[in-house]
Structure 1
């Protein structure tokens, strides 16, 4: 059957998308461009690609001005999500930073509870306490030997909040007008670029541009592969899978980043931190589940 065939391919495509997205942290780690600046260039590359795709497929920009503004605002939050995630990568490494960024699920739950009246299940509340315990276990050894740990954890957690806000504004945009994929992603990219211009000039004045052809190539890969291809695979696969399976498979991104951190970048991660990482992954998974009766 075509539908079952499609669903069968969705799970591996989602895992591939998550792993490829996690590999982007290596580019951030090794390209000597500032955290805000490389986020700007990533979104700039993506904006060009999404503009070309929108033109090629004849997809139109939203006609409603409020929908247009909300899509751009979503991009503002995405821009700061990326920049702060990059700051966290510099401070505590790709693995821990990606794990902290994945805590966005709890910010989404909090926003849903306080602003949209969404009820929280006991499982989701339990998952929050498990996540706090996991992050504490990860952080305790890091704070003892890494002078940048406080900023790394703060920027990683705040990046998760920014990502949650970006997702909320995408949802609010669609409530006003059903914007097609490529114009939506173009507007999100443009909003992020606009928000990052001034911070890039202020904080990354000495590391604003890639200085070698290698670095230019890596930034092109970062924008085209991580922002467009990886996000495209994730966006394609998620609607085709159950929420339970989606929540489990999305954990492949922080798991991949942790393994890269440990085996490739040789970051020392002790048993206490691995236990904390496992607890945090469990919490993120549980937090992604919703009661069938909610």
Structure 2
């Protein structure tokens, strides 16, 4: 546990790398589970609760940290629910790779927040990232848009919507985690998991979806999704981020969408062309530029 409390720059960076690689498996588990978008979101959160609560007991932490924590956690959970459901549905429509790459446009949501609300300076990186992202998006989706199926078009729109909800979730999570040590951060993750489990459960009921899980294999994939991606990966990233310089964080976290695209090709035999690959490379480059667009010395107040 000491390495999580104070990993230092070398191990901190390694923790973020491992966490990003583990999270890249998320959309793979969503597809393999064979359940609906809202049900997979529910089980991701519900099955992550036992290990998180056990971890909280082990470190002798307390889950109630005050009404302010509860209020921010509730807002984060609402955005997280919308993020997961839109993302899961887009995964089922357009595949793990593309859905995850487009969802990571959340860096532009965070950049816009920094510029418009925190009044950070617009940097050359951000100016360059915008046209590069548009070109990349066009090469991935726009070339085939007019001939694509309704499912593909809806999947792309849902993935881009995911970026907004994901960005909002990250902002509230940062606000929530800023003043807490490791024990407090784990307590906050527990609170978000509890609230998001409740909200996603209500969505499943309200939408008429089923909680049914078709097979033992599906349960195993859902359990892996919750424990590996929701608990272990986020714990590693949360512990390593404060010890990793921002420009490296942006590059390392690209392992998530890049990894998802690679898994999509290797596991689900995603068809691709040279134009698509070029679009992916440009889009990942734009995401990296956007994630490292804060000027030196400028930090988010959230």
The correspondence for 1:198, drawn from 195, 202, 207, is 202
The correspondence for 1:260, drawn from 263, 267, 271, is 263
In the alignment, the residues of structure 1 paired with residue 220 and residue 178 of structure 2 have an alpha-carbon distance, to the nearest angstrom, of 38
In the alignment, the residues of structure 2 paired with residue 117 and residue 244 of structure 1 have an alpha-carbon distance, to the nearest angstrom, of 20
Q: Deviation per CA, 1:47-82: give whole Å up to 9, x if none.
A: 222222112211123443122111122122112211
The worse-fitting range, judged by mean Cα deviation, of 113-122 and 237-246 is 113-122
The worse-fitting range, judged by mean Cα deviation, of 87-96 and 13-22 is 13-22
Unaligned runs of 5+ in 1: none
In the alignment, the residues of structure 2 paired with residue 293 and residue 54 of structure 1 have an alpha-carbon distance, to the nearest angstrom, of 34
Indicate whether 1:37 and 2:45 are aligned. Answer: no
In the alignment, the residues of structure 2 paired with residue 237 and residue 142 of structure 1 have an alpha-carbon distance, to the nearest angstrom, of 40
Match of 1:240 in 2: 243
Match of 2:190 in 1: 186
Aligned partners of 1:73 and 1:191 also within 8 Å: no
Aligned partners of 2:111 and 2:291 also within 8 Å: no
- What is the aligned residue count? 292
In the alignment, the residues of structure 2 paired with residue 45 and residue 65 of structure 1 have an alpha-carbon distance, to the nearest angstrom, of 25
In the alignment, the residues of structure 1 paired with residue 175 and residue 17 of structure 2 have an alpha-carbon distance, to the nearest angstrom, of 27
The worse-fitting range, judged by mean Cα deviation, of 116-125 and 273-282 is 116-125
Match of 2:273 in 1: 270
Give the direction of change, closer, same or farther, for the CA distance of 1:48–1:152 in structure 2 (3 Å limit): same
Matches within 5 A, 1:138-217: 138-143=140-145, 144-174=147-177, 180-203=184-207, 205=209, 207-217=210-220
Match of 1:84 in 2: 86
Relative to the length of structure 1, the TM-score reads: 0.91
Match of 1:223 in 2: 226
Match of 2:67 in 1: 65
Match of 2:104 in 1: 102
Match of 2:139 in 1: 137
In the alignment, the residues of structure 2 paired with residue 107 and residue 119 of structure 1 have an alpha-carbon distance, to the nearest angstrom, of 15
Relative to the length of structure 2, the TM-score reads: 0.89
In the alignment, the residues of structure 2 paired with residue 29 and residue 171 of structure 1 have an alpha-carbon distance, to the nearest angstrom, of 29
In the alignment, the residues of structure 2 paired with residue 29 and residue 37 of structure 1 have an alpha-carbon distance, to the nearest angstrom, of 12
In the alignment, the residues of structure 2 paired with residue 24 and residue 177 of structure 1 have an alpha-carbon distance, to the nearest angstrom, of 27
Match of 2:253 in 1: 250
Unaligned runs of 5+ in 2: none
Residue 291 of structure 1: CA displacement?
Answer: 1.9
Secondary structure at 2:213 match in 1: coil
In the alignment, the residues of structure 2 paired with residue 188 and residue 97 of structure 1 have an alpha-carbon distance, to the nearest angstrom, of 23
Secondary structure at 1:18 match in 2: helix
In the alignment, the residues of structure 1 paired with residue 284 and residue 253 of structure 2 have an alpha-carbon distance, to the nearest angstrom, of 10
Indicate whether 1:292 and 2:278 are aligned. Answer: no
Aligned partners of 2:47 and 2:223 also within 8 Å: yes
Aligned partners of 2:7 and 2:243 also within 8 Å: no
The worse-fitting range, judged by mean Cα deviation, of 146-155 and 89-98 is 146-155
In the alignment, the residues of structure 1 paired with residue 211 and residue 291 of structure 2 have an alpha-carbon distance, to the nearest angstrom, of 37
Give the direction of change, closer, same or farther, for the CA distance of 1:159–1:204 in structure 2 (3 Å limit): farther
Secondary structure at 1:59 match in 2: coil
The worse-fitting range, judged by mean Cα deviation, of 213-222 and 176-185 is 176-185
